[in-house]
Structure 1
Amino acid sequence: MEFQNRLYDLRKRSGLSQEELANLVGVTRQAVQKWEAGTSRPDMDNLTALARYFNVTLDWLITGHEMESCAAAQNGPVVVENHYHYNSWHYEYKSKCTVFGLPLVHINLAQRGFCVARGVVAIGNVSVGALSIGVFALGGITVGAFGMGLLALAGMALGLLAMGGIALGYVAVGGCAFGYLAIGGSSVGIYAAGGAAMARDVAVGSAATADLLAIGQDARAAMTMGLSDTREAIFQAIGQTGAPDWIRSVLMFCIGR
């Protein structure tokens, strides 16, 4: 049996796709495809990673047989030392309980590559789930460096409610926020509140620019107000723009009234 056949059998017995094995080792799917087709061979680091993951010896993986001791043919004992420097790690857990065919919990993390976790609760380098945590997270509630979901909490967040360094959503809260209602250091939206706010209807902030109403120290709009104006006057002015009651409440909260 050739190397490519041994690798194929090991992968199939482990229930892995070529893409999943590639993620574990930290290579592309095309590289695994070439290994199994016999058109290329993995380097020593990748061979070591494969042997460790499948719990086989490196000698068996390469040659198909175990090393035979040659001590009997020598005048003295022979000590063979193999030093493999393998710093990568991988951890995966998949619960047996499933919901609509998806595991209730799927954790798939690795130091190298992008391991995909798919489950109701998904935690991985790349995660997809109702509750999704990962570098790249997609789902109902997402937490990660890059998140997309109904509720997204991430460095870069996209969602119905998005919160992050850069947030884009119906309601967006972040350092830079873009949305129907945007709240942040720099905010742009139909309604916006923040240090620098730009809005179509109502902008609230130190520097506020809007088409209809701007409230702030430096306010520019068809109608302007200062932060020192009374609560009743500001509340009434926002209402005149046609803003929904919940928008008025949020903007008043941002003003501190």
Structure 2
Amino acid sequence: MNNKLIANLKLLRKKNHLNQSELATRLNVSRQAISNWETGRNTPDIDTIIKLAHLYHVPLDQLVTHKNHSAPIVGKPKKTILGVLFAILVVERSTQNAPLAARIWIDYLLLVPIVLYFVLLLIDKKIVNPRIGLAIYNFGLFLFGVAGIGSSFVNLFSMGFGLRITCFACGVMAIGYIAIPGIKHLIGKVKSATSLRV
């Protein structure tokens, strides 16, 4: 078995704060299988290696070769969506003529991308467990989306048409960003189920 793969399997499992049993449950294999892979007695099949790379958020070649594992755990798209939401809200808050209460509401909404970006930085610095941090990120982005869409529908604080559209668009972007991986996963499941029937 590839010695680099053996070392990477164990290293990445520990970096992601998983024990062998937790990883086995996620991959739907036995704990003994994980132990055998990490000691070099057996090798995971290619499908399992792909699942591991996806689970650990690393490129496949990084899993099977000796590349630097100090790359950030959190990908750029997660940070980019926060930057886009922040920029839109800042521009709209400064250009729209709205009541003070509506501008303060936008200030509160602006805090969400800032806090979530900070959570992502803590994940990258390995201060926060990635599973917990990403759960906080997804939940926060979802709440941001609900608050944005909800406040636009009820015209919270008489914010006016411009800020209503901004809140609605930002809310849809946030919820859409969270939903896209789930939709892709669902489409993949449907495709695999239909291909098995044919």
**Fold agreement, TM-score > 0.5:** no
Q: Which has the higher contact order (CA 8 A, sep 6+)?
A: 2
Bigger fraction of residues in helix: 2
With the length of structure 2 as denominator, give the TM-score of the two structures. 0.32
Q: Which has the higher strand share?
A: 1
Report which of the two structures shows the higher radius of gyration computed on alpha carbons: 1
